[in-house]
Structure 1
């Protein structure tokens, strides 16, 4: 993150220029430029109508009061310049009337724009509250794991999308889900909320990870339409260095061994996405594998692996993970996320989620817990 801030500091002049050009100073600048051109060239009536550009543009950056101030400045400048050049009173009155009409119309437009911006700000605050309720922040440590998550919605103004994730510490060990709802918009958000609600409840109730998946499947079968579904990976760590993975039509997680080897965890047998089991005889299988100290598991959505650059090449997630791997999941995901945005040119066209778990060596885990800021403040660790 420090590197990103450092790179941004090199563009301060350009940022200042954009701020001036797109900010409240531009309408005043236009009025002054028109006045200076007229004074220097003596254009008279040819240039005076251009003063209306000041209040017209002010409607995009200022409120009604700012528009009226710019319009007043333009009217005073136009009157003085017209008198200086001996413009006939009838022609000058026409220019003043046009400036007044543009100023009033621009003031009304500025008032409506301000009202829409206030409504949009309220909607954004509701979206942020919904995101925090739906996708609760992942703590730095959950059970025996270090954890981190990075999420980006393709619709930046919405803040939330159809990708989902959850990480809970249960009596049966740490359990995690990462999924992708078919579709976008509010229906996808509603389905994601349904899946997460059922998962969080079933993860605490069901000793068997497959039973957790069955609970989600039954709920979706009752509530989804015939063409709706959710791809998901559900994983659990019951303890004793053993990891369980159930894949329902989702991209395979990436397992990173302590030595740095990156391996895709393919499902033991193909299974349909959640919500489509009734259409096929296939049922998901539970894949069990060892998960030792120093190992890491990356779960993600297809918005990451299907992200393309200008040459239509997919983002190589496995290579990127191996390149940016570290002992701190948050730092690893920061580097991956920055590289992903650079790969697509700065904007994702699909929701993207990354969730990384790392099982630190026992000694490192004790040190991390003892030095945790939450523990130092007397808070209880998750």
Structure 2
């Protein structure tokens, strides 16, 4: 009798454990489905080719089972050329995702209308201010801002324009030698222009056939080794063999970050790479 009862108890416990495991798997599946949908809504798919440009993106969310975080990117094929936005909202979690969503929504509107990158930045600043005011009751303080970089690559010509709003500088691979595009004039992070009392400044640099531009968030350069050393992005870039297409460049960067951190990336990461393919060769 005791043996039969024990067997029955073990069977019930096993069935309950199986039920809990099934529920947990179903919940995780639902969470992943919501996360995937959120990512598709916020981070709209980016075309692989726009005119003479090839584009690739990389997004890694630090939070378990998350697909989006406070880092963001966007691309728009506009009458002014290809316009890009990549940035990082201060903070983490759902509040950061909300701010990123507000900025991305604004960018996908103003990118087609604004006549210059400074105007795009000004309107993003206004949009973020409105969002913060609706959420906190005040326009901005030192806790509410986003760093970002805006880029415009015309359909014709061999230059690009960029505006850096307190963000890590882009890397330009020119003649296979990478260099950091440090802006000579500082522009304020988004939502801090009014507080800092400064304006947005646009820079222009050569960008021609064979050149590649890499935009990234600070999750890249702040990836640590077990020893505490940060990822040496510029040194790594200097060792990249010539001629890589954007997708392969980002694959190699992803592998290097995993190797640096021993597979333990603990910050959101967003990257966007663009290569100038040049005009089609003559028939």
Q: Is TM > 0.5 for Structure 1 vs Structure 2?
A: yes
Which residue of structure 2 lines up, in the alignment, with residue 276 of structure 1? 192
What CA distance in whole angstroms lies between the structure 2 residues aligned with 1:352 and 1:237? 23
Which residue of structure 2 lines up, in the alignment, with residue 98 of structure 1? 6
Which residue of structure 1 lines up, in the alignment, with residue 217 of structure 2? 301
Structure 2 gaps of 5+ residues are none
Which residue of structure 1 lines up, in the alignment, with residue 237 of structure 2? 321
Runs of 4+ with deviation above 6 angstroms: none
Q: CA deviation at 1:155?
A: 1.5
What CA distance in whole angstroms lies between the structure 1 residues aligned with 2:59 and 2:105? 19
Q: 2:41 pairs with 109, 114, 133, which one? A: 133
Q: CA deviation at 1:95?
A: 4.5
What CA distance in whole angstroms lies between the structure 2 residues aligned with 1:305 and 1:292? 26
What CA distance in whole angstroms lies between the structure 2 residues aligned with 1:137 and 1:346? 26
- Look at both structures and tell me which one has the larger radius of gyration over its CA atoms: 1
Q: Does the 8 Å contact 2:52/2:278 carry over to 1? A: no
Q: 2:144 pairs with 219, 228, 239, which one? A: 228
Higher relative contact order (CA 8 A, sep 6+): 2
Q: Does the 8 Å contact 1:180/1:231 carry over to 2? A: yes
Q: CA deviation at 1:246?
A: 0.6
Deviation per residue, 1:117-176 (Å, 9 max, x gap) = 212211211210111121122222123211111111112411211110011110011100
SS of residue matched to 1:298: strand
Which residue of structure 2 lines up, in the alignment, with residue 112 of structure 1? 20
Structure 1 gaps of 5+ residues are 1-92, 368-382
Deviation per residue, 1:224-273 (Å, 9 max, x gap) = 2532211100011134212111111100001110x212111112222221
Which residue of structure 2 lines up, in the alignment, with residue 89 of structure 1? none
Deviation per residue, 1:35-92 (Å, 9 max, x gap) = xxxxxxxxxxxxxxxxxxxxxxxxxxxxxxxxxxxxxxxxxxxxxxxxxxxxxxxxxx
Q: Does the 8 Å contact 2:58/2:250 carry over to 1? A: yes
Name whichever structure is richer in helix by fraction. 1
Name whichever structure is richer in strand by fraction. 2
Give the alignment's TM-score, normalised by structure 1: 0.68
Q: CA deviation at 1:329?
A: 1.0
Give the alignment's TM-score, normalised by structure 2: 0.91
Q: Does the 8 Å contact 1:142/1:168 carry over to 2? A: no
Aligned residues: 273
What CA distance in whole angstroms lies between the structure 2 residues aligned with 1:95 and 1:199? 69
Q: 2:247 pairs with 311, 317, 330, which one? A: 330
CA RMSD of aligned residues (A): 1.7
